[in-house]
Structure 1
Amino acid sequence: MELRLKNITSYSKEQTTKIDLRKKINIIYGQNGAGKSTISNFFYNMSDASFKECECTFIQHYRPFVYNAKFIEENFFNTAEQKGVFTLSKENADIEKEIAEKESEKQSLTKQYLEKKAYLDNLVENENKAEIKCIDAVWSKTENIRASSLKSLMKGSLGSKKSFFEKLKPSQRLPGIDLNSLIQEYDELLRHNNIESPTITLPIKDFLLPSEHDLLATPIIDLSNSYLSDNIKELNNLDWVKTGKELYLREKTCPFCQEKTISDDFTKAIESIFDESYNKKTNQIKIIKNKLSKEMEDNLQLVELELTQCLILTDDEKNKSLTYIKVLHKILSANISLLNDKINNPSISITLNFDNESYNNIFEDIVKYNIKINDINAKSKTFKRSENIIQGKIWAGAKDFCHIDFDDLNKSSLKNKSLIEIARKDLDLIIKKGKDNNNRISELRTNVSNIDLTIDSINNRLKNLGIDNFSIKKHLSSEDKYVISRADNTSTEGVYRSLSEGEKTLITFLYFIEYCKGKTDKLDYDNRESLIVIDDPISSLSQNYIYDIASMIHFEVLETPQPKKIIILTHNLYFFHELVKLAPRSRNDKIFKRDYSLGRISKNTHSTFEEIEKSSLKNEYQSLWQLLKDAQDGKINKIIIPNIMRNILEYYFAFVHKTDALQAELIKLAKDENNQSFRAFYRFINRGSHSDAVNISDMGDISPQKYIDQLKKIFIMTGDEKHYIKMMEIDEPDEEDEVATA
Structure 2
Amino acid sequence: MELKLKNITSYRKDQFTTINLSKKINIFYGQNGSGKSTISNFFYNMNDESFNECECSLIENYRPFVYNTKFIEENFYNTSEQKGVFTLSKENADIEKEINEKELLKQNLTEQYKEKKSFRDRLVNNDNQAESKCIDSVWEKTENLRTSSLKPLMKGSLGSKKSFYDNLKKATEALNIDLNSLAREYDELLKHRNIECPTITLPIKDFLLPHEHELLATPIIDLSNSYLSENIKKLQNLDWVKAGKELYLNDDYCPFCQEKTITANFIKAIESIFDESYSSKTDQINTIREKLIHNMRSHLQQLEHEVMQCSILSDEEKEKSIAYIALLGRTLDKNASLLNEKVKNPSISITLHVDDESHTNIYTEIAKHNKKINDINQKAKSFKKSEMSIKEKIWAGVQYFCHTDLEILRAEKEKNKTELETTDKDIEHITKSGKETSNKIQELRANVSNIDTTIDSINNRLKNLGIDNFNIKKHTKGEDKYVIARTENPEGENVYRSLSEGEKTLITFLYFVEYCKGKTDKSDTDNREPLIVIDDPISSLSQNYIYDIASMVHFEIFETPASKKVIVLTHNLYFFHELVKLVPKSKNDKIYKRDYHLGKISKNTHSTFTEIDKSSLKNEYQSLWQILKDAQHGKINKIIIPNIMRNILEYYFAFVHKTDALQTELIKLAQNEENGNFRAFYRFINRGSHSDSVNISDMGEISPDKYMEQLRKIFSMTGDEQHYLKMMDETEDEAVTA
Structure 2 distance, partners of 1:156, 1:649, is 68
**Aligned counterpart in structure 2 of residue 405 of structure 1, from 402, 405, 429:** 402
Q: Which residue of 2 aligns with 1:297?
A: 294
Q: 1:27 to 1:258 in 2, by over 3 A?
A: closer
Q: 1:224 to 1:590 in 2, by over 3 A?
A: same
Corresponding position: 1:440 with 2:446: no
Instruction: Verify the 8 A CA contact 1:200 1:370 in the aligned structure 2.
Output: no
* Structure 1 counterpart SS, 2:729: coil
Aligned to 2:471: 471
SS at match of 2:578: helix
Paired with 1:374 and 1:629, the residues of 2 have a C-alpha distance of 87
Q: Percent identity between the aligned chains? A: 60
Partner of 2:558: 558
Deviation at 1:50, TM superposition (A): 3.3
Are 1:149 and 1:187, in contact at CA under 8 Å, matched by a contact in 2?
Answer: no
Cα distance between partner residues in 2 of 1:7 and 1:159: 27
Classify 1:197/1:9 alpha carbon distance in 2 versus 1 (closer, same or farther; 3 Å): closer
Q: Distance in 1 between matches of 2:311 and 2:679?
A: 103
Which shows bigger deviation, 110-119 or 424-433?
110-119
Structure 2 equivalent of residue 56 of structure 1: 56
Partner of 1:3: 3
1:314 is aligned with what amino acid?
L
How far apart in 2 are the matches of 1:450 and 1:424?
Answer: 38
Q: What corresponds to 1:518 in structure 2?
A: 518
- 8 Å CA contact retained: 1:203, 1:363: no
Shift of 1:425: 3.0
Q: Go from structure 1 to structure 2 and tell me whether the alpha carbon gap of 1:220 and 1:164 turns closer, same or farther (over 3 Å shift).
A: farther
Matches within 5 A, 1:589-738: 589-663=589-663, 665-666=665-666, 669=669, 674-683=674-683, 691-692=691-692, 695-731=695-731
Q: Taking structure 1 as reference, are residues 121 and 229 closer, same or farther at Cα in structure 2, changes over 3 Å only? A: same
d(CA) in 1 for partners of 2:128, 2:97: 46
Q: How far, CA to CA, are the matches of 1:394 and 1:14 in structure 2?
A: 41
2:47 is matched by which residue type in structure 1?
Answer: S
CA–CA distance in 1 between the matches of 2:159 and 2:633?
Answer: 58
1:395 to 392, 398, 414: 392
Equivalents in 2 of 1:693, 1:189: separation in Å? 78
The one-letter code of the counterpart of 2:205 is P
Q: Secondary structure at the match of 2:541?
A: coil
Kindly provide the CA deviation profile for residues 322-381 of structure 1, in whole angstroms up to 9, marking residues without a partner as x: 54444444444443433443444455555543333333334444555666677778x58x
Does 2:206 match 1:207? no
Distance 1:342 1:636 in 2: 115
Counterpart-to-counterpart distance in 2, 1:652 and 1:599: 27
Q: What pairs with 1:317-466 in structure 2 (closer than 5 Å)?
A: 320-346=320-346, 348=348, 350-366=350-366, 379=378, 395=392, 399=396, 402-403=399-400, 405=402, 408=407, 410-412=410-412, 414-466=414-466
Deviation at 1:605, TM superposition (A): 4.7
Aligned partner letter, 2:455? I
Q: How many Å separate the matches in 1 of 2:396 and 2:257?
A: 97
State the TM-score, normalized to the length of structure 1: 0.82
Contact 1:103 1:441 in 2 (8 A): yes
Would you say the 8 A contact 2:23–2:596 is kept in 1? yes
Give the match's secondary structure for 2:100: helix
Q: Closer, same or farther in 2 for the Cα pair 1:116/1:307, shift >3 Å? A: farther
For residue 51 of structure 1, what is the amino acid of its counterpart?
A: F
Q: CA deviation at 1:253?
A: 4.2
Q: Residue 169 in 1 paired to residue 173 in 2?
A: no
Which deviates more from structure 2 when the two are superposed, residues 655-664 or residues 490-499?
655-664
The reply on whether 1:26 has 2:26 as its aligned counterpart is yes
- The 1:416/1:143 distance shift into structure 2, 3 A limit, reads farther
- Describe the superposition over 1:92-119 as per-residue Cα deviations: whole angstroms up to 9, x where unpaired: 3333333233323333333333444444
How far the C-alpha of 1:162 sits from its partner, in A, is 4.5
Q: Which amino acid aligns with 2:507?
A: I
Displacement of 1:163 after TM fit? 8.5
Indicate whether 1:82 and 2:82 are aligned. Answer: yes
CA distance in 2, matches of 1:12, 1:63: 27
Q: CA deviation at 1:68?
A: 1.9
Identify which of 263, 274, 281 aligns with 1:284.
281
Per-residue CA deviation, residues 474-515 of structure 1 (Å, 9 max, x unaligned), is 223333122223333341523333333333222221111111
Structure 1 SS opposite 2:65: strand
Bigger Cα displacement from structure 2, 492-501 vs 404-413: 404-413
**Bigger mean CA deviation after superposition, 62-71 or 172-181:** 172-181
The structural deviation recorded for 1:519 is 0.8
Query: What residue number does 1:737 align with?
Result: none
- Identify if the C-alpha distance between structure 1 residues 280 and 114 changes in structure 2 by more than 3 Å, giving closer, same or farther: farther
Counterpart of 1:42 in 2: which secondary structure? helix
- After superposition, the Cα gap between the structure-2 partners of 1:570 and 1:211, relative to the gap in structure 1 and judged at 3 Å, is closer
Aligned-partner residue type, residue 301 of structure 1: S
Can you give the 5+ residue segments of structure 1 that lack an aligned partner in the other structure? Answer: 735-742
Do the aligned residues in 1 keep the contact of 2:194 with 2:381 (CA within 8 Å)? no
SS state at 2:506 partner: helix
Aligned partner of residue 202 in structure 1, secondary structure: coil
Preserved contact between residue 217 and residue 349 of structure 2 (Cα < 8 Å): no
Query: Could you tell me whether the CA contact under 8 Å between 2:31 and 2:602 is conserved in 1?
Result: yes
Greater Cα offset, 280-289 or 497-506: 280-289
Instruction: Select between 447-456 and 723-732 the one with higher mean Cα deviation.
Output: 723-732
Question: SS at the partner of 2:533?
Answer: strand
Q: Counterparts in 2 of 1:506-545, with a 5 A limit?
A: 506-545=506-545
Amino acid at match of 2:109: L
- State the distance in 2 between where 1:563 and 1:599 align: 20
Structure 2: which amino acid aligns with 1:510? L
Q: Partner of 2:218: helix, strand, or coil?
A: helix
Contact 1:639 1:696 in 2 (8 A): no
Structure 1, 586-595 or 432-441: larger mean CA deviation: 586-595
Task: Give CA-to-partner distance per residue, 1:291-329, whole Å, 9 cap, x none.
Answer: 232146324423542563475873655554454444444
Whole-angstrom CA distance in 1 between matches of 2:391 and 2:711? 88
Q: Is the 8 Å Cα contact of residues 203 and 299 (structure 1) preserved in structure 2?
A: no
Shift of the 267–387 alpha-carbon distance from structure 1 to 2, 3 Å rule, reads same
Q: Is the 8 A contact 2:177 2:393 kept in 1?
A: no
Flag the 1:666–1:435 CA change in 2: closer, same or farther, 3 A. Answer: closer
> Aligned to 1:402, what secondary structure does the other structure show?
helix
Q: Amino acid of the residue matched to residue 74 of structure 2?
A: E
Counterpart in the other structure of 2:69 = 69
Work out the CA distance in 1 between the residues paired with 2:87 and 2:325: 107
Distance 1:428 1:44 in 2: 31
In the alignment, what sits opposite 1:496? 496
Q: Report if aligned partners of 1:85, 1:454 keep a CA contact under 8 Å in 2.
A: yes
Q: d(CA) in 2 for partners of 1:170 and 1:188?
A: 27
- Which segment is superposed worse, 501-510 or 297-306? 297-306
Deviations 1:631-679 (A, max 9, x none): 4334445455455445444443444344555455555555555545444
Aligned positions, number: 723
Report the Cα offset of residue 520 of structure 1: 0.8
- Preserved contact between residue 200 and residue 306 of structure 2 (Cα < 8 Å): no
Q: For residues 321 and 638 of structure 2, what CA distance do their matches in structure 1 show?
A: 95
State the alpha-carbon separation in 2 of the partners of residues 519 and 489 from structure 1: 29
Assess, with a 3 A threshold, how the Cα gap between structure 1 residues 156 and 286 changes in structure 2: closer, same or farther: farther
The letter of the residue matching 2:561 is P
Contact 2:23 2:595 in 1 (8 A): yes
Map of 2:313 onto structure 1: 314
Does the CA contact (< 8 Å) of 1:11 and 1:606 recur in 2?
Answer: yes
Give the whole-Å Cα distance in 2 for the aligned partners of 1:619 and 1:149: 71
